[in-house]
Structure 1
Amino acid sequence: MTDISSQNAERPTKAAILHGLRSRCPNCGEGKLFDRYLHVADTCPQCGEALHHHRADDGPAYLVILLVAHIIGFAIHFMWVVWRPDPWVMATVLSVGAVALSLALLPPMKGLIVSIQWSRRMHGFGHHR
């Protein structure tokens, strides 16, 4: 017989979010969250926590767009006011920067979404493993 109170115990949201941003298991903080670039592991290799319940879908991409658009928007303004580069140079530099920044931010944002879902017991994360 399993203890109902241990199944419904509060999960630490702040710690889980910090673990997710580091692409680590939201439960133990030690195991890798991803098998490949954006593929979440089915279970944590360290603690065995089931991670396949996640439903991150488009959430990480929307967060990345929100962040990158603000950063690139500021960079456009700053570059134009300070240096006045040729528009083709500015477009090339900022396009490469936007792509690189987007690819760098996607895993932490997906980890954030998965860790929030885990800490709030959403989409099957609340069931006993």
Structure 2
Amino acid sequence: MAAPNPLLSGLAGRCPNCGEGRLFEGFLKVSPRCEACGFDLAKADSGDGPAVFVILIGGFIVAFAALFTEFTLHPPVWVHLVIFLPPTVIVCMGLLRPFKGAMLAAQFMNRASQARRDD
């Protein structure tokens, strides 16, 4: 049996080691161990990377739509808030978990660990 692609497993929210166990306990909390293979996930930390990518991608999509709407229809500001605030939240929340899983899987693929200096 071939090993699963860690990046695809991370995008799906699965363990990058086996592709079977869940990567997350809650919405964004990483499980301490894989329930299927016992792989230690406690040291995995994606930092702010996924949030930065999500903000850039979601912001580009929604800002482009808002600017296009502003220059073509000239609606009041409250219309922009009503129209574009919900898609902003939906896009950002929808992308955050897969991006965090992909970042954790990239750490696994590259055998990256947190830099520590114990004095």
Instruction: Tell me if 1:116 matches 2:90.
Output: no
In structure 1, distance between residues paired with 2:21 and 2:11? 13
In the other structure, the counterpart of 2:117 is: none
Per-residue displacement from partner, 1:38-70 (whole Å, max 9, x unpaired)?
100011111111111212111111111111111
Structure 2 SS opposite 1:17 = helix
In structure 2, distance between residues paired with 1:71 and 1:96? 13
Give the Å deviation of 1:24: 0.9
Greater than 3 Å deviation, 4+ residue runs:
80-86
The AA in structure 1 aligned to 2:88 is A
| 1:87-106 correspondence runs (5 A) | 87-106=77-96
Instruction: Tell me if 1:30 matches 2:30.
Output: no
Structure 2 unaligned residues grouped into runs of 5+: 115-119
Per-residue displacement from partner, 1:84-125 (whole Å, max 9, x unpaired)?
43331122221121112111111111101100001111117x
Structure 1 length normalisation: TM-score?
A: 0.77
Q: How many residues are aligned here? A: 112
Structure 1 unaligned residues grouped into runs of 5+: 1-10, 125-129
Pairwise CA RMSD: 1.9
State the identity as a percent.
Answer: 38
